[in-house]
Chains A and B, each alone.
Chain A
Amino acid sequence: MTMLVVLVMVGCVENPNVTEEVYLENPNAMRSWVVGLQRQLAVTTNTVTVNTAITSDNYYNNYTQYSKIFDRLQIDYYDTDVNNLQADIQELRAMAMYGLEVVLPADPVSTKEQEAYLYFCLGYADLLGGELFIGLPQNNYGEVESWEKLLQNAIVAFDEAMALETSAEMNRVYTLLQARAYYNLGDRENAVQLASQLIGQEVLYSVEFDGQNGVANEMQNATFDALPNRLAPLPRLDFLDPKYYSVGTPATDQKTVAIAKVEEAYLILAEANLGKGDLAAAQSNLVQLLQVVKNRPVVMIDDSGETRNGGKREDYPNQSVPVRFTKEGKYQEGYILNRQEGPIAAHTISGTKVTELDINSTSTIDDLLYLTYRLRQEIFISEGRRLSDLGIKFPVSQIEQLNNPNVSEEYTIPQIPSFLPAESMDDFSVAEDGSITIVEDLNRLIIQNKSLPEVVPFF
């Protein structure tokens, strides 16, 4: 008998997991699922911002634990970072779908706003998929859909979100994201129509992070908190680094990352106007844009911890030295900051060195288009946007391909425009006096190749 009691006592085990069944049976499932999507949006944003920063000319990875080959434009479908990027985007999509298909019917107290948020996440996941990948499967082991189809899916999802959403502020965000999708598709008419609605309005949607629960802003960590800094900016972008910073304990001071801001509407309109040859209208769009940028907050921060010696490359400047964009260009001051001499300005949403004078003194479409792309690069830095400007798209990952019989070989090859100088995108030379010459001005190369289908959608 004693034996029996002992056995019964030890015979029960505790299950620390919450199964799907238990989760759905309990009240308020949707509430936690929406927060889960917010969390996933933060996770996805981290993967996108860091990997696109490294792959593009914006940042060089001086740290061993991020991709050491994206900087060289080596994008292999078997690469773990390619898989992670796909996985984080698809997890956002799958979670949104699960919310709509499973959680929504199971939770009677779900609201329309919650449903709208699910559609927003679905649309945003498709938008990222269409911008960053040549195609992606749209459901478990499903057929691969082309990037154009993904963007169209995004537009549909944002429509659904708008139909459910009552907040005008959020509807403007959806509108802007829809305009961005049309822009990427090269659909000038729809892009312009939507972007125009937003001119003069406040549109800003930022992703929030939680450093105390393991979802810190990785771009903030990489460019400010972790010392030495992990990512080094192209010297002509030095003044925009860091976009995110912390005061005190980093875990409790995590800055947001803007994924939709009204600046984009002006940029879309400017490029559309340039596409139809209207230089003056484009100039006007961009001058208005500068006003928007000027109204964005600028914070003086102490970045004296930055020494730019985080890894192998030690040639990054940390003195205030002049820089020229190419060896033919003129040396310009103010782009590279000395961070030891006192606080520096952090442009937490948008910043640029392009001036009204620069804009108004352009006389050709290409010159203003060049400035438009410089503005895009400077305004969107650290927000994961540069790759679509460069026309780079990732392939479907090998893990997907090995699991999913629907992935044909064509989807395992990345899209890398031939004009991109893979080995020298982040390169620069240092003169004896410390002044810097950037090897390639990629914005110039983009404009020179604007007729290629991979870049400049409206040309």
Chain B
Amino acid sequence: MVRKLFLILFAFSLSVNFYANSFRKKLSPDITKIRIKDQLIGLDLKDSPLTQVFVEIESQIEKKFIYLPDQEIYRSKVSLKISDAPLQDVLQRLEKLVALKFKVTENGILVKEKSTSGTTSLQQVRIQGKVLDEKALPIPGATVMLTSENRGTATDFEGNFNLSLNASDLPVELKVTFVGYKTKYIPITKAVNDLQIILGASTESLNEVVITGQGADVRKKRLSTSVVTINEDELNKISAQRIDQKLSAELPNAQINLTGGQAGATSIIRARGVNSAFLSSTPIIYLDGVRMDNLNTKMQLGGTSQGAAISALADIPMDNIEKIEYINGGAATTLYGSDAANGVIQIFTKKGGKLGTSLTLQAESGVETPTNDYLYFDRTKDLLFRNGFYQNYRLNLNGKGEGGFGYSFSGSYRNSSGVQIHDQNENLKADFSTGFRAKLNDKLTYESSFIYVHNEYKRNRNGNQGGYTGLWFAEDGSSSFTGPGFNNRLDELTSQEFEDIKAYVDNAERLQDNQIVVNRFTTSQIFKYTPLDHLNFRFTGGLDYRAQDQNTVITNEYLTATRGQEVMDEGSIQNVQRNYLGLTLELTGQHNWEVGNFSLITTFGGQFFRTKDHQILYSGSNIRDGAQTISDAAVKDSDEYLSEVLNYGVYLQENIGFKDKLFFDLGIRGDRNPAFGENIGTQFYPKAGISYMLSSESWFNSTLFNSVRLRGSYGVAGNLPPAYANEKTIKFDGFLGEQSAYFGQPGNDNLKPEKTTTIEGGIDISLANSRINFSAGYYRSLTKDGLFYVPSAPSTGYSIAQLYNIGEIENYGLEVSANFIPIETKDMNLSITASFNTLHNEVLDSGGAPAFNINGFSSRTLQTVVQEGYPIGFLRGNYGTFDENGVLEKSEPQSYLGTTIPDIFGNLSLNYSYKNFGLFANASYQAGAYAHNWDAQFRYYYGASEDYIPAGEIEANGRRNWLSFTNRFVEKTDFIKIRTIGLSYTLQPKNKAIYKTIMFGFTAVNPLNFTSSSFDPEATISGAAQGQGGASTGGISYATYSAPRQFLGSIRINL
């Protein structure tokens, strides 16, 4: 072990030396210019104005002339006949013909009039102005550079800048940059003192620098895959309690569905289909380069909390985010190695702000109302729900000092009382985070972030946990036999009967006592070291520690009240702790090299990633009411689970650019993992891609298109099997005071990661002055060696399913996204974004293994199943057909009842602004999937409804065939859900001494749902209790709360 680590370190140091040495031998960067100057030009012009000469030359090289065309000198006519002379010679000849001087720079050929006297050349001119954002707010700290001289300045607190230069140097070009905004180049031909430079926010700029998928900084256009970037402003528009909810309509090619309305509910995140039958499709998440717990190791003890799993995504810090980058799989994820097949979300927190100090205070509050759209009985809402109150307070402080020191602090407190009676879904969250950036010296920068999240919430019983369970009781008809027994047709109850049932439910909810508390601490420490101009290293070290305590107290009083008979000695307390510690260490080097027409970016590095998932259960039974710890219990019990995983990988990537228009991206990652036995060895993940900026070709001179890019790639990414899943084990348990040994898992010496190979191609177009941006792609990914849990044959004596690499899963689809800006005036702006994705998912091969379920109940009732020839997680159950009298004729068991994965999905969003007024809305949609209404099937069984089944059957057979026609309860789950509608008004005072801006906002969360199903197509948590742990496609609607609506007002003050 130690030797291997040493070897890797050694390899690092070798590569550092190699790159350092190679740099020393490198030619001067001037070589690029010399080569450009050597480019051959041919001209045949007679009496043409100079402007015409420039146009001719421009058409033959990639540089533009920078000059002031209204000057008299440019109208002078020249004749030139040159065949294939170097540019430098041509310019020299021109200098002889006219009184001009030329200077070839990186951004163009500067043209200057020859000074008539030596004194004027020293005359100083000033360029003064202001840099503003699109809302006309000053941008302090923006960089304003003179491209020809490689010097510049930064804007001050009010966005002002001031540059002086020799008049003889005019014209010049200014380059204005600021992170998160589109870079602007402005030609300056004369002194100016009121220049207004407005920077547009960089949404889909191909020149934007991203990290995701590359290990180090690279411009988007150099990548053969697409990276989605969401900046702070966009994130601020969405009022959400958790990161996945925030992103739910923001990632154009991914679907994020929250599977329930209770706090801590799991979400199903799906981008390019479902490429694994054993692991959830949740992407891996990095925060400032540190791997976060995304609960891909599931709860092993105590099962689910109150019937449904808890998501570790619910408490990922989200208050101090600068931007989020997202890649959805394929070649882009290759460098992330053995568990990146589901894509990667990278969160970057703020480490500083604009020059000076900026303080933002925000208060948001409003009402929460239950989403009653899907309740079967009108009166369920009166039994279980009420309106709640939401409040959220936030403080952000950030700024930047002169010496490159940046800082940021953020704190927030949020409390949602929830919409269930007796605060049974109250949710409290507090976040604190700090971020720093410091330039330690010319070569070394240090960045650091510390984040603490505290989240605590209640969760009443859901699904069917036996006994009293709110929704199951009210909506599924089990009220007929629970407690004293009631008429289960709630809407037919007399008011007295309803009062009785209401009193019962009220008591049952009041007496539930359970709580989940999460404390999460995350830190990231980054050192950036730039030993040489074109070589830099980044060391990232950090950890994510998440402690989750789940506590359920069942009192005798509760049992007595819900059962309708006195219970005296069954009180119990169960506590389950899950402690997760993830440690990430990564060293990345990046070397840039330009040689001739080629630019080379070499990225290399290594990553260590270690997780420890330690779960402890301790419970007490026969405990007196009032006790809150198990110390008073008559019987105490405990259990423990431990999983530790270490993965280390090294990667090397070469990004080759040719003439800044054609890019090749090649890379490979090798991974080892000591938990997987010797037979697996090192796993390699290669990738190759091409990106071609068609619009950068000299012959491409369309006025319509701003940029056209073609891209294509091939890449492999993986999913790791769980630690030690390869081993043949013996399990132990106590039995009658002694140690008992029995069969554990059968073992599989050849277990290895499943690998998903993706081939994709696409086009990105920007046209009409970037007012239409369009991106379309097609991908096909094939998972080979798919990890399938093969149910053990009873004859082997093993009851645990063993993982085998036997599956083959195919996903393919189109990914289209577009952004239109139909209105873009000084005062008014309208932007519409839409995405459209198709998806085909199929298990091509199951290696001859029996079908197995990933969720659901038993094989005779209803399951979501993995089977050859079908999509993953399709609904399987009994398919009943009825005769002409409506009586069940035939029931075909284990039939295909529909896919739970949609064919089509996407998001829509709209941004409108008029002066200081803003309107924002976003929505998600899907079509082509099905889900099963298990609530309705129970309702039928318990005689609470006659829906779905012909009257003839009920007359002939009563309810006893209730499981024989499960197909009748399957519904289409097409939907369009408006997630957010937000209105804002920004007040900008003339005198900014007190405050800079105040923004008033009103937000409606989940305001409108249009669904084809009678149930909430997303609320499938109880039917998909595996949640984040195993593969889950939802598909079963069963006693699950829908996310509530919120109507919130907010005020944000910028000081």
Assuming the contacts A7-B585, A398-B850, asked whether A136 and B621 have C-beta atoms less than 8 A apart, the reply is no
Q: Whole-angstrom distance between the alpha carbons of A23 and B747 in the complex?
A: 14
Interchain CB contact (< 8 A) of B622 among A88, A249, A310: A249
Task: Decide if A94 touches B963 in the complex (CB within 8 Å).
Answer: no
> In the assembled complex, which residues on chain B have CB atoms less than 8 Å from the CB atom of A23?
730, 741
Q: B390-406: contact bitstring with A at CB < 8 Å (1 yes, 0 no)?
A: 00000000000000000
Instruction: Flag the segment in A110-118, A159-167, A205-213, A352-360 that touches B.
Output: A205-213
> In the assembled complex, which residues on chain B have CB atoms less than 8 Å from the CB atom of A10?
583, 585, 608, 610, 646
Q: Does B361 contact A (CB under 8 A)?
A: no
- Most chain A CB within 10 A, of B541, B621, B723, B797, is at B797
Q: Does B791 contact A (CB under 8 A)?
A: yes
Select from chain B the residue with minimum beta-carbon distance to A252. Answer: B635
Task: Decide if B941 touches A312 in the complex (CB within 8 Å).
Answer: yes
Q: Does A200 contact B (CB under 8 A)?
A: no
Interchain CB contact (< 8 A) of A11 among B608, B634, B739: B608
Interchain CB contact (< 8 A) of B735 among A4, A12, A35: A35
Give the residues from 315 to 373 in chain A that come closer than 8 angstroms, CB to CB, to chain B: none
Task: Decide if A213 touches B634 in the complex (CB within 8 Å).
Answer: no
Task: Decide if B729 touches A20 in the complex (CB within 8 Å).
Answer: yes
Q: How many residues of A contact B (CB 8 A)?
A: 87
Select from chain B the residue with minimum beta-carbon distance to A208. Answer: B736
Distance in Å from the Cβ of A259 to the closest Cβ of chain B?
A: 16
Distance in Å from the Cβ of A135 to the closest Cβ of chain B?
A: 11
Task: Decide if A249 touches B797 in the complex (CB within 8 Å).
Answer: no
Interchain CB contact (< 8 A) of B797 among A32, A78, A93, A307: A93
Q: Whole-angstrom distance between the alpha carbons of A248 and B732 in the complex?
A: 28
Instruction: Flag the segment in B2-10, B39-47, B183-191, B650-658 that touches A.
Output: B2-10
Q: Whole-angstrom distance between the alpha carbons of A6 and B608 in the complex?
A: 11
> In the assembled complex, which residues on chain B have CB atoms less than 8 Å from the CB atom of A227?
559, 563, 565, 567
> In the assembled complex, which residues on chain A have CB atoms less than 8 Å from the CB atom of B850?
398-399, 402-403
Distance in Å from the Cβ of B737 to the closest Cβ of chain A?
A: 8
Give the residues from 202 to 229 in chain B that come closer than 8 angstroms, CB to CB, to chain A: none
Q: Does B626 contact A (CB under 8 A)?
A: no
Instruction: Flag the segment in A64-72, A382-390, A437-445 that touches B.
Output: A64-72
Task: Decide if B795 touches A213 in the complex (CB within 8 Å).
Answer: no
Q: Does B740 contact A (CB under 8 A)?
A: yes
Q: A38-63: contact bitstring with B at CB < 8 Å (1 yes, 0 no)?
A: 11101000000000000000000001
Instruction: Flag the segment in A138-146, A182-190, A280-288 that touches B.
Output: A138-146
Select from chain A the residue with minimum beta-carbon distance to B565. Answer: A305
> In the assembled complex, which residues on chain B have CB atoms less than 8 Å from the CB atom of A83?
791, 794
> In the assembled complex, which residues on chain B have CB atoms less than 8 Å from the CB atom of A141?
793, 795-796
> In the assembled complex, which residues on chain A have CB atoms less than 8 Å from the CB atom of B739?
31-32, 35
Assuming the contacts A13-B645, A20-B730, A312-B942, asked whether A137 and B740 have C-beta atoms less than 8 A apart, the reply is no
- Most chain B CB within 10 A, of A72, A304, A399, is at A399
Q: Does A80 contact B (CB under 8 A)?
A: yes
Distance in Å from the Cβ of A209 to the closest Cβ of chain B?
A: 8
> In the assembled complex, which residues on chain B have CB atoms less than 8 Å from the CB atom of A33?
741
Q: How many residues of B contact A (CB 8 A)?
A: 80
Distance in Å from the Cβ of A315 to the closest Cβ of chain B?
A: 12
Interchain CB contact (< 8 A) of B795 among A12, A32, A80, A136: A136
Q: Whole-angstrom distance between the alpha carbons of A212 and B620 in the complex?
A: 10
Assuming the contacts A64-B464, A252-B635, asked whether A309 and B481 have C-beta atoms less than 8 A apart, the reply is yes
Assuming the contacts A4-B6, A7-B9, asked whether A18 and B729 have C-beta atoms less than 8 A apart, the reply is yes
> In the assembled complex, which residues on chain A have CB atoms less than 8 Å from the CB atom of B730?
18-20, 23
> In the assembled complex, which residues on chain A have CB atoms less than 8 Å from the CB atom of B643?
16
Distance in Å from the Cβ of B228 to the closest Cβ of chain A?
A: 32
> In the assembled complex, which residues on chain B have CB atoms less than 8 Å from the CB atom of A72?
960
Task: Decide if B797 touches A95 in the complex (CB within 8 Å).
Answer: yes
Q: Whole-angstrom distance between the alpha carbons of A4 and B790 in the complex?
A: 41
Select from chain B the residue with minimum beta-carbon distance to A313. Answer: B481
> In the assembled complex, which residues on chain B have CB atoms less than 8 Å from the CB atom of A93?
797
Q: Does A131 contact B (CB under 8 A)?
A: no
> In the assembled complex, which residues on chain A have CB atoms less than 8 Å from the CB atom of B963?
68-69
Assuming the contacts A90-B794, A142-B795, asked whether A17 and B733 have C-beta atoms less than 8 A apart, the reply is no
Task: Decide if A210 touches B734 in the complex (CB within 8 Å).
Answer: yes
> In the assembled complex, which residues on chain B have CB atoms less than 8 Å from the CB atom of A95?
742-743, 797
Interchain CB contact (< 8 A) of B729 among A19, A91, A97: A19
Q: Whole-angstrom distance between the alpha carbons of A226 and B736 in the complex?
A: 22
Task: Decide if A38 touches B735 in the complex (CB within 8 Å).
Answer: yes
Give the residues from 69 to 90 in chain A that come closer than 8 angstroms, CB to CB, to chain B: 69, 72, 76, 78-81, 83, 86-90
> In the assembled complex, which residues on chain A have CB atoms less than 8 Å from the CB atom of B797?
90-91, 93-95, 97-98, 140
> In the assembled complex, which residues on chain B have CB atoms less than 8 Å from the CB atom of A89?
794
List 4 extra interface pairs beyond A17-B729, A399-B793, CB under 8 A: A18-B732, A23-B741, A32-B739, A35-B741
Q: List 19 A-B contacts (CB under 8 A).
A: A6-B585, A7-B5, A7-B608, A10-B585, A11-B646, A16-B642, A18-B730, A19-B727, A31-B738, A36-B740, A78-B860, A91-B742, A91-B798, A91-B799, A95-B797, A210-B734, A248-B569, A400-B793, A404-B793
Interface residues of A (CB under 8 A from B): 3-4, 6-8, 10-20, 23, 29, 31-33, 35-36, 38-40, 42, 63-65, 67-69, 72, 76, 78-81, 83, 86-91, 93-95, 97-98, 136-142, 208, 210, 212-215, 226-228, 248-249, 251-252, 304-305, 307, 309-312, 314, 397-400, 402-404, 423
